[in-house]
């Protein structure tokens, strides 16, 4: 019997691949938003909420033998980074001396992060950063300059950081399934929301 102690975005998308389902079909089967499934692709280390974990358990349990075989074959050992890491655009949106943050939902935990979205092959990280910021928060922004990229130390994805400037729009939580809150945070209070050691150093330099 296939048993997953705790589902992550990576394991969930491995099940999706084993079922050969699109993001839309997989989301509909689980009863979540399509953006939630896309988020699992862009943030493989994320832990879905408890009720989603249960739905994934049920889906795997009811899958036929061929699906379970494909699923087992697709799983990687814990901590192993894929050879071709996914790419994510992260928007550092500044308004005067404030920066825009979203509060992500996890498994009985919340974490404050910068707006982000998956970069599909051929897409521009700058464009994705702008579009995802608006989709998540309702804020319109424009990219001022790239801040660099790195392999994210927690998720293993390639993270492209974009410094962006606020244009218009009131910040609101437009993705309540994925996020718990949205806020403009004073730059000097940023470490209260995200520990300094977890912030990409060029971000701190740009905000200084």
The CATH number assigned to the domain holding 174 equals 3.90.79.10
Compute CA 22 distance to the chain's CA centroid, rounded to the nearest angstrom: 18
Residue 84 pLDDT > 60:
no
pLDDT digit string (tens) for 95-114? 999 999 999 887 567 889 99
pLDDT digit string (tens) for 122-153? 889 999 999 999 999 999 999 999 999 988 77
The residue-averaged pLDDT of 172-179 equals 90
The CATH number assigned to the domain holding 41 equals 1.10.260
Average pLDDT of the chain, as a whole number: 86
Residue 74 pLDDT > 80:
no
Tell me the two tokens of residue 38: 């896309």
Residue 122 domain boundaries? 87-207
Of 19, 47, 74, the one marking the end of a domain is: 74
Residues 6+ apart with CB under 8 A from 146: 125, 126, 160, 161, 162, 163
Identify whether residues 101 and 179 lie together within a single domain. Answer: yes
The DSSP H or E segment spanning 18 is helix 9-19
Identify whether residues 177 and 94 lie together within a single domain. Answer: yes
Which residue matches tokens 């953006």?
35
Residue 42 pLDDT > 80:
no
Closest CA to 199 of 45, 36, 90: 90
What is the widest separation between alpha-carbon atoms in the chain? 57
The answer to whether the pTM exceeds 0.85 is: no
> For position 205, what pLDDT does the model report?
92
Per-position b or e across 115-128, b if 16+ CB within 10 A of its CB:
bbbbbeeeeebbeb
Residue 86 pLDDT > 70:
yes
> For position 203, what pLDDT does the model report?
95
**Number of domains, the chain:** 2
Identify whether residues 94 and 66 lie together within a single domain. Answer: no
17 located within any domain: yes
Identify whether residues 49 and 96 lie together within a single domain. Answer: no
151 located within any domain: yes
At residue 85 the predicted structure's pLDDT band, cuts being 50, 70 and 90, is low
> For position 75, what pLDDT does the model report?
56
Long-range contacts of 108-113 (CB under 8 A, 24+ apart): 108/50, 109/47, 110/180, 112/183, 112/185, 112/193, 112/194, 113/194
3-state secondary structure of 150: strand
Q: How many whole angstroms separate alpha carbon 148 and alpha carbon 146? A: 6
Compute CA 11 distance to the chain's CA centroid, rounded to the nearest angstrom: 14
Identify whether residues 198 and 166 lie together within a single domain. Answer: yes
The residue-averaged pLDDT of 16-20 equals 87
Residue 33 pLDDT > 60:
yes
Identify whether residues 100 and 19 lie together within a single domain. Answer: no
Identify whether residues 27 and 63 lie together within a single domain. Answer: yes
User: Is residue 153 classed exposed, middle or buried when 0-12, 13-18 and 19+ CB atoms within 10 A define those classes?
Assistant: exposed
At residue 3 the predicted structure's pLDDT band, cuts being 50, 70 and 90, is low
Residue 190 pLDDT > 60:
yes
């Amino acid at each position: 019997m296939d048993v997953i102690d705790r589902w992550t975005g990576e394991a969930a998308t491995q099940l999706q691949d084993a079922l050969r389902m699109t993001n839309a079909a997989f989301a509909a089967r689980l009863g979540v938003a399509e953006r939630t499934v896309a988020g699992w692709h862009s943030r493989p280390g994320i832990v879905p909420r408890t009720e989603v974990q249960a739905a994934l358990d049920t889906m795997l349990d009811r899958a036929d033998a061929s699906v379970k075989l494909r699923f087992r074959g697709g799983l990687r050992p814990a901590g192993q980074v894929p050879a071709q890491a996914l790419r994510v655009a992260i928007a550092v949106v500044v308004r005067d001396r404030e920066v825009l943050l979203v509060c992500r939902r996890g498994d009985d935990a919340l974490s404050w992060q910068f707006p982000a979205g998956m970069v599909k092959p051929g897409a521009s990280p700058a464009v994705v950063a702008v579009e995802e910021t608006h989709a998540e928060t309702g804020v319109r922004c424009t990219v001022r300059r790239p801040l660099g990229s790195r392999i994210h130390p927690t998720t293993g994805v390639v993270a492209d950081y974009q410094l962006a400037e606020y244009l218009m729009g009131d910040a609101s939580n437009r993705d309540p399934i994925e996020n718990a809150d949205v806020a403009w945070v004073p730059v000097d209070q940023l470490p209260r929301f995200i520990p300094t050691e977890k912030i990409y150093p060029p971000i701190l330099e740009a905000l200084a």
